[in-house]
Amino acid sequence: MTNLAFALAATIKHDGHGGIADLLSTPAEAAAWLAGHRDLVAEVLGGRLPAPLSGKNSALGAGLFPESRADAAEGVWPELVRIRRAVRALFARAVAPGPPSKADADRLMDLDAAVRMVNRAAERLGFERLEWPEGGEPVVRRAARTEDPVALLIGAVGRSAIDFLAGPDRTRLRACPAARCVKYFLQDDPRQTWCSPACGNRERVNRHYRRRTAG
């Protein structure tokens, strides 16, 4: 199961021409990304809207997600880009002593600031509590400290970053060492070096070419 913060970090990728593509370069792109990751957001928020919003909207989505409307996404877009910087700085720390992703290695956010940002975001979600209605199933509800959809969405990212970094997947995190690649990936097997077969093949071809030109 993918993690929301991990998915957010992956919105910076190589463009295939030696440059870097940002999949969140406009509010509309941010809205589309959120809409595409609504299941992961729902998972973090307990599969339901936090209590303050549940009265207004029964289905997770209405009101919380900016859909693909760029105007509605204007508030969440800069926040999403900011917390992505925090997540990527923490990922850079997680893969150390290996080198971090080349995309932002030279301009990483200060680690303390990154930890503070993630904690502050997650804090807005409030605490979890058990609800077990008579004759029903036990459910976890969050007593959110906010009704602000932006704070809830960014809070979900913060919460998932904490879960990821404090969870078992952190030790499998790697930065792909392929020349043009800037991806963080989860190593499936200790021998896996590249993020994808495509990166592995490209590197093998490059090495072969370098050996031939050198010899």
- The separation between CA 213 and the C-alpha centre of its own chain, rounded to angstroms, equals 41
Nearer residue to Zn ion within complex by CB, 133 or 197: 197
Of the ranges 67-75, 125-133, 151-159, 170-178, which one interacts with Zn ion (CB under 5 A)? 170-178
Q: What is the token pair recorded at 205?
A: 């071809």
Q: Which is nearer to Zn ion, 77 or 91 (CB)?
A: 91
Size of the residue set binding Zn ion (CB under 5 A): 6
40: left (phi over 0), alpha (psi -120 to 50) or beta: alpha
Give the per-residue contact string, 178-207, with Zn ion (x = CB under 5 A; - = no).
x--x-x-----------x---x--------
Beta-carbon-side half-sphere exposure of residue 76 (alpha carbons within 13 Å): 31
Q: Say whether residue 176 binds Zn ion (CB under 5 A).
A: yes
Closest distance of CB 205 from Zn ion, Å? 14
Q: Which pair of structure tokens corresponds to residue 132?
A: 């077990």
Pairing label, strands 173-175, 12-14: unpaired
- 29/203 with CB nearer Zn ion: 203
Contact 76, 150 (CB under 8 A): yes
Candidates 150-158, 162-170, 176-184, 200-208; binding stretch for Zn ion (CB under 5 A): 176-184
Residue whose C-alpha is closest to residue 163's, from 110, 107, 125: 125
Name the residue among 74, 148, 101 with its Cα closest to residue 6: 101
Give the number of other Cβ atoms within 10 Å of residue 45's Cβ. Answer: 22
Q: Which is nearer to Zn ion, 10 or 72 (CB)?
A: 10
Nearer to Zn ion among residue 150 and residue 195 (C-beta)? 195
In the complex, the smallest distance separating the C-beta of residue 196 from Zn ion, rounded to whole angstroms, is 6
Whole-number minimum distance, CB 180 to Zn ion, in Å? 8
Which positions touch Zn ion (CB under 5 A)? 176, 178, 181, 183, 195, 199
